[in-house]
Amino acid sequence: MTSVALIVPVKNGGPRWRMVITSILAQRLRPQRTLVVDSGSTDGSDEAAKAAGFEVRAIAPERFDHGGTRQMAVGMVPECEIVIFLTQDAVLEGPEALEQLVWAIRTHPRAGVAYGRQLPRTEAGPIERHARLFNYSEQNAEKSLEDIRRLGIKTAFTSNSFAAYRREVLLRAGGFPQNCVMGEDMIAAARILLQGGTVVYAAQARVIHSHGFTMAEEALRYYGIGRMHAQQQPLLARFQSPASEGARFVRSELAFLSRHAPWRIPEALLRTITKYSAYHWGKWSGPAPVMEQAY
């Protein structure tokens, strides 16, 4: 039987992390290893993980980075064939979520990574809700290099908020990048695709995970995305420009809001301008800022 590890980076997860713990303990599939990498929690998140029976590895907050920390964790579970990543605020939806994700990667022989569907929070507003509906459809998919002409940068889209990797394939492709401010999942997926693997989207494996970012938080996030694209330009250039995907998102968002919340359209347009400006500022700026762990 395939051995599975579940890895969750945590820092001050708060009440949401307690909900995630409960959802993990309710799963039909019990991973052989459940490893929490805690980078300096002061709210008892690490103790809650220990009380649930999880392994906890503590690291200094300044040592955390999205790629390097996850790569370190992969090295700590050498006996596991499949490694699942979850963020501290992604609540597993139903007791079969882990099982469905593992099933998806097992049944696609070329798959190096499979990621699940992210559903908006109950309290999500229309802008937050649309972002999840746009990026995570009801249709399963398997993406390969042949899809670049059709999907562009979206070919390498995945999310470590809820994703499973074949450990051997991930390592053979080069693993996660070190000193990575964000986007380590897309970089790993791009590397896997260039090695001949595929990226599977498993819509039946679901988590509740979305964010009501302020405009300032969104600007910081897109600044980081711009820095990541600049740093990884030789790799991501193989997947065309993200501009066409951004335009498709804006058209979809405006259509969604016109039906459900037309009074939010001015805000959405202002957010679009802010994100576009922050992204391009990031591409041409200096070192990237430190980002929060969960997003």
pLDDT in tens, 226-260: 988 888 888 888 887 666 777 889 999 999 999 99
Question: What is the per-residue pLDDT for 1?
Answer: 59
Tell me, what's the pLDDT at 181?
76
Surface-to-core class of residue 40, CB atoms within 10 Å of its CB (0-12 exposed, 13-18 middle, 19+ buried): middle
Cα atoms found within 13 Å of the Cα of residue 283, Cβ hemisphere only? 10
- Residues of the chain with pLDDT > 70, as a percent, come to 95
Report pLDDT for 50: 98
Amino acid 292: pLDDT: 45
The 3-state DSSP class for residue 54 equals: coil
Distance from C-alpha of 30 to C-alpha of 201, rounded to nearest angstrom: 22
In tens, the pLDDT along 143-168 reads 999 999 888 889 999 999 999 999 99
What does the block give as tokens for 96? 């079969």
What would the mean pLDDT of 192-217 be, rounded to a whole number? 96
Q: Is 80 exceeded by the pLDDT of residue 290? A: no
- Choose the CATH number for 4-208 among 3.40.50.300, 1.10.287.1260, 3.90.1010.10, 3.90.550.10: 3.90.550.10
Flag whether pLDDT at 8 surpasses 50: yes
Where do the CATH 3.90.550.10 domains begin and end in the chain?
4-208
DSSP-derived letter for residue 125 is: -
133 DSSP 8-state letter: H
Residue 254 carries which side chain, given as an amino acid letter? L
DSSP reduced 3-state for 288: coil
What is the rounded distance in angstroms from the CA atom of residue 251 to the CA atom of residue 255?
Answer: 6
Q: In this predicted model, what pLDDT tens digit does every residue of 254-263 receive, in sequence order? A: 999 999 999 9
Residue from 189, 8, 175 nearest 86 by CA? 8
